[in-house]
Structure 1
């Protein structure tokens, strides 16, 4: 007799023999005992966990006649009657198994429906089992729906699938669904021990643990691997042989890697990876073993005595759980899982393993103690990760970057006044509502000695806040502004919104409680080309000195803002040339007629005509273009063809690299900036806006909210 593999030889033949699916066994057993039978069942779950086995046992339970031939529907089929024996041998005429992976079309389903019209030949029920049912076509599903919803009394449907998400909702609603779960390694190991005892094969506990983990919840895979391990080990199972067969990595390698990473010892990590390469051990298996160890470490960190002390693999986790902080353990665990998926993308798997482990070392250690640098075997002195994240989020500019001609701050300013306001956009400013004052008077703080360049000093009783700072590239502003640049309503009609204020004595005795929430919003982007944006993107910050009387605020602020806007406009002013006028007019004509589009149009807009030369009866126009991608031969040829078509003359275009000073794009940017400047001046000089700014000492104009019309 030929050898029968363990997965087939030890397939359960009754509900009592099934392991790991107690929830399904219990439901089906009670339904059979109470004769509460559904007409369609759907079993879902991964491969090798018992879907087909449950279907066969259910078919035997429905058709079992007992040893004496007088039995009825039962939850415990006898296994000796003709129905039980023939179903186990897969030759029972009233039990049909259809593999939908290879019989998925509507023709096979029509044939099945035709067979459903006839009563059982020898049994009590006809049972149609469709395996991998999610692979049926949509037409096949639709053809089955009516019969599946209202089958004859003698017909039962059993559907099995590994992917229930691909099943039609109309099919799911007609079935009683049971989800078979992957089995725990301990359950698999216990069943393997019983099978090997029946087979009289010697096996140690370590080998069974390796096989049960490699099965990943599938009992059929576990039995298949056991067959392979018996052949590999010559009739016995030893942990070392099973580990070699599976390509699994010894726990000691994972221990050494975790220990080295906890110490930030880069040399030890590299040496261990080289040792793994020399032994031919799998990089993926290394990350799997590390992830398993880190999971146990996390349990030991979160729950005292949470690990199984009888499991020898948990000893390393109990010993190493204090080597890493809990958040570092979680971080390294996530890195191992992510790196496991990225190994196929690396040049080779060992390079991927090294980069995965070094990724963890790129994060600072959670200890603030002084230590040697990374790679020397000790921890790195670094702030906690949360502090580092906060540091990255903050905006810090060295105070030494302030221009030398700028006056020194006479005293700390309020936090609301010291908040930096971006001038990245040439847009500028409607008036925003100030905050109400608090009845509590601020504490007094000492004032700094003013410099000679600053004739005025701020009051000494302002709340403490960080001083304002400015980039070195920004021109110096020697005159302080009474309040920070603020923002405004869209042009042309200025819209002013202000919150009612208390009386003047109440405001004088209370500090400002900070800017309104909308001051933290990002400024609007200017609708100009990068040339204009880069010239206007520098921040402008000035020391702010609140005045004792609100009416002193109005005269100084508009003058200061007008000067800043004029500086921005002068920075992008184009030096026009006759050749530039000619090229701009030609570009407008080409664009308006649709002769150029896309990148060819962009080339014309970014180009500057610098010379026209006569060569052999034809003109050669010299263009200067900064972007290399626009200087490609194909784009130049397209633009040249369009120019010849408009001019009706033989014109050749020669393109050279360089920054264009008088291009159509720069002219458009200048025009947009000038319109923006005029709109800003209209708002800033509006009498209503100036009256509001003078009346409310904390009013602000929203940067970027003014748009020309």
Structure 2
């Protein structure tokens, strides 16, 4: 006698044997008990979750006559009457299964519908089951619409698909739709234990846990992998043989990698990656297992009491969760997910794996290069860095005073190390700012010598810049300021007239106007790369051409109100208004209510008043 695979041998024969689909079983059971039977059902879900199984059980429930032949419609088919046994064996005349993947034309559907005019021969109902219904052609869907909407009282349609998005809405509106969900690994594991106990096969719990995770919610995949593991392990399921069969990575390697990343040990990271290469373990599986462990660590960090005591790896996961900060855990998780998608782009997946791991180490907050410091590199020589800056010396020795008529363009000075917070009203390094006071007007400035103008940068301003300690955090929302609206209008005019382009435009958009006076403006940018001498000079020239005869000074700091942030806020406001307009439209609401229409995310775009439709 030929061997029957586990997926077919242990296919559920009744609703009580179904696993992991209680919501569908409950709905169908109540409908069968109360007699509220619909004429068309649509079962959706991924592969191996029970769509065909549910349709066969439903057909048996509709046609079961009981062991004595006097039974009626029931939610618990007997399994011994002729109708039940014939449906299980696939030879029941009144139960027809059509594979739409290979019979997708209108001719095949018409041939099926021609049988609808004849009453059942053996059973109580005719049941037409169309599997992978989304594969039917448009003409085939149209051919079955009328019969699907008003079939004879003895005919029931059962449709199954893994892709309901491809089924026309005219078909969906004629069916009761049930979504069979992917099964949790714990549910799959519990069922595998019962199956192997019935088969008298010894299995280690850790091995079954690997198979349950590898099944990814499909019970059929889990049983097929179990069959393969039994053959691979000569009748036994051991964790080492199952891991070798699946090509999965031992969690000990994953724990070692995360531990090394938490401690910033690059040598251990590279050595572990080389070990994975030598053993031929999957790079994608490594990143996948790391993502699983990092996800559990994040849960433990948020909910410390959520640890599963039955998991043998719970103690090690809890130790790493305490070792790695929560923000770094989230960063590593995100990089692992993105890195897995990049493995196929590299010529060698192990080299790609090493690069992903090194990226995790490089992006570790506060990570330092071997023997290095947190200071940023500059173009200054050590001798020049050791000498006091002439701008700073002059700023401390001289009182604030305006520049001469032909000042030297200021050069923004950025400290090498992160600066400490200064008290309110303190001036940034390299700038000497005086506050314009109407009650005490500034005295006329004395002539400034060439040496002084080269050393001193003095910008008279109307409002002094705020302390760096009060600046918004990076990525913070827009914080409107008094000068922000004015600077936004100026930059919009420059961009509209194409007076600034490329890096100069970015400098204008990303900067914040901190303070301004009649002839001196102070800007602040976050990125030092934007603060180049050529960009400042070109932006200053563009402003002068636009009628703003000012001298620019640029400092480095956090920006809370820039033209770019204002543009983003305006665009977001327009987008929300457009989405609200569409969602509240009566016609759109009628389409969503009557035909189940859905608004595709990202398809709504605001239209500018001056734009012409294409």
Q: For the Cα contact (< 8 Å) 1:444–1:461, is it kept in 2?
A: no
- d(CA) in 2 for partners of 1:22, 1:444: 64
User: What's 2:611 paired with?
Assistant: none
Greater Cα offset, 202-211 or 4-13: 202-211
SS of 2:97 mapped into structure 1: strand
CA offset digits 1:662-709 (Å, max 9, x no partner): xxxxxxxxxxx99x988749x99xxxxxxxxxxxxxxxxxxxxxxxxx
**Cα distance in 2, alignment partners of residues 68 and 46 from structure 1:** 38
Residue aligning to 2:85: 85
Alignment of 1:39 onto 2:9: no
Rounded to whole Å, the distance in 1 between the matches of 2:159 and 2:401 is: 76
Pair 1:94-2:61 in alignment: no
CA shift, 1:305, in A, is 2.3
Q: Is structure 2 residue 179 aligned with structure 1 residue 209?
A: no
- Highest Rg: 1 or 2? 1
CA distance in 2, matches of 1:70, 1:282: 59
**Partner of 1:181 in structure 2?**
181
Helix, strand or coil: the match of 1:203? coil
User: For residues 625-636 of structure 1, what are the structure 2 equivalents within 5 Å?
Assistant: none
Q: Deviations over 1:113-165 (max 9, x none)?
A: 11112111111101011111111111111111111111111111111111111
Partner of 1:354: 354
The CA RMSD measured in Å over matched residues stands at: 4.4
Counterpart residue number, 1:283: 283
Cα distance, 1:538–1:165 mapped onto 2, change above 3 Å? closer
Question: Aligned equivalents of 1:532 and 1:232: distance in 2?
Answer: 62
Query: Cα–Cα, structure 1 residues 532 and 37, in superposed 2: closer, same or farther, change >3 Å?
Result: closer
Q: 2:63 maps to what in 1?
A: 63
CA shift at 1:532, angstroms?
Answer: 12
Quick check: 1:257–1:269 contact (8 Å CA) kept in 2?
yes
Q: Distance in 1 between matches of 2:277 and 2:70?
A: 66
Contact (CA 8 Å) 1:43, 1:179: kept in 2 or not? yes
Q: CA deviation at 1:73?
A: 0.4
Q: For residue 343 of structure 1, what is the aligned residue in structure 2? A: 343
Q: Does 523-532 or 241-250 show the bigger shift?
A: 523-532
- 2:23 matched to 1:5? no
Tell me the residue number matched to 1:238. Answer: 238
**Structure 1 segments unaligned to the other structure (5+ residues):** 368-372, 384-398, 414-419, 422-442, 463-474, 486-512, 547-552, 558-567, 573-672, 685-709
Task: Using the TM superposition, give the Cα deviation of residue 460 of structure 1 relative to its aligned residue in structure 2, in angstroms.
Answer: 12
- Identify the residue that residue 297 of structure 1 maps to in structure 2: 297
Partner of 1:525: 495
Name the structure 2 match of 1:253.
Answer: 253
Q: Is the 8 A contact 2:98 2:130 kept in 1?
A: yes
CA distance in 1 between partners of 2:205 and 2:327 (Å): 33
Query: How far 1:288 moved relative to its partner?
Result: 1.5
Equivalent-residue separation in structure 1 for 2:223 and 2:345 (angstroms): 32
Superposed displacement of residue 482, structure 1:
6.7
Structure 1 residue 352 displacement after superposition: 1.3
Separation of aligned partners in 2, 1:305 and 1:214: 27
CA–CA distance in structure 1, aligned partners of residues 290 and 181 of structure 2: 25
Question: Cα distance, 1:404 vs. partner?
Answer: 12
Deviations 1:237-265 (CA, angstroms, capped at 9, x unpaired)? 11111111111111100000000000111
Which residue pairs with 1:171 in the alignment?
A: 171
Note the C-alpha offset of 1:531: 10
Number of the residue aligned with 1:641: none
For residue 304 of structure 2, give the secondary structure of its aligned residue in structure 1. coil
Aligned to 2:174, the other structure's residue is in SS state coil
Q: Deviations over 1:91-116 (max 9, x none)?
A: 11111111111111111111111111
Judge conservation of contact 2:100–2:131 (CA < 8 Å) in 1. yes
Equivalent position SS for 1:113: helix
C-alpha separation in 2, matches of 1:107 and 1:144: 11
Could you say which residue in structure 1 is the equivalent of 2:103?
103
Residues 366-415 of structure 1: CA deviation (Å, up to 9, x unaligned): 59xxxxx4458xxx9769xxxxxxxxxxxxxxx969799999974499xx
Asked whether the 8 Å contact 1:188–1:217 carries over to 2, the reply is yes
- The 1:116/1:531 distance shift into structure 2, 3 A limit, reads closer
For the structure 1 residues 315 and 542, does the alpha-carbon distance in structure 2 shift closer, same or farther, using more than 3 Å as the test?
closer
Report the CA distance shift for 1:126/1:403 in structure 2 as closer, same or farther (over 3 A).
Answer: same
Partner-residue secondary structure (3-state), 1:322:
helix
Residue in 1 that maps onto 2:54: 54
Alpha-carbon distance in structure 2 between the residues aligned to 1:48 and 1:532: 54
Contact 2:462 2:516 in 1 (8 A): no
CA distance in 2, matches of 1:532, 1:120: 76
Q: For residue 222 of structure 1, what is the aligned residue in structure 2?
A: 222
Kindly provide the CA deviation profile for residues 140-192 of structure 1, in whole angstroms up to 9, marking residues without a partner as x: 11111111111111111111111111111111111111111111111111111
Distance between the aligned counterparts of 2:348 and 2:426, measured in 1? 64
SS in 1 for 2:495: coil
Question: What is the CA distance between 1:18 and its match in structure 2?
Answer: 0.7
1:592-619 Cα offsets, whole Å, 9 max, x none, are: xxxxxxxxxxxxxxxxxxxxxxxxxxxx
Identify if the C-alpha distance between structure 1 residues 478 and 101 changes in structure 2 by more than 3 Å, giving closer, same or farther.
same
Separation of aligned partners in 2, 1:42 and 1:538 = 57
- Counterparts of 1:118-517 in structure 2 under 5 Å? 118-365=118-365, 373-374=368-369, 410-411=399-400, 515-517=482-484
Hey, what's the Cα distance between the residues in 2 that align with 1:156 and 1:196?
Answer: 37
Contact kept, 8 Å, 2:188 with 2:222, in 1: the verdict is: yes
CA deviation map 1:486-539 (0-9, x unaligned): xxxxxxxxxxxxxxxxxxxxxxxxxxx96244135271227468899979x999
Q: What secondary structure is seen at the aligned counterpart in 2 of 1:525?
A: helix
Q: CA deviation at 1:210?
A: 1.1
Contact 1:45 1:161 in 2 (8 A): yes
Number of aligned residue pairs: 470
Aligned equivalents of 1:541, 1:307: Cα separation in 2: 48
SS of the equivalent of 1:153 reads coil
| More relative contact order, 1 or 2 (CA 8 Å, 6+ apart) | 1
Shift of 1:200: 1.1
Shift of 1:299: 1.6
1:99·1:130 contact (CA, 8 Å) conserved in 2? yes
Gaps of 5+ in 2: 376-387, 403-408, 411-422, 441-452, 464-479, 521-533, 551-614
Residue 76 of structure 1, CA deviation: 0.5
Distance 1:124 1:532, change over 3 A: closer
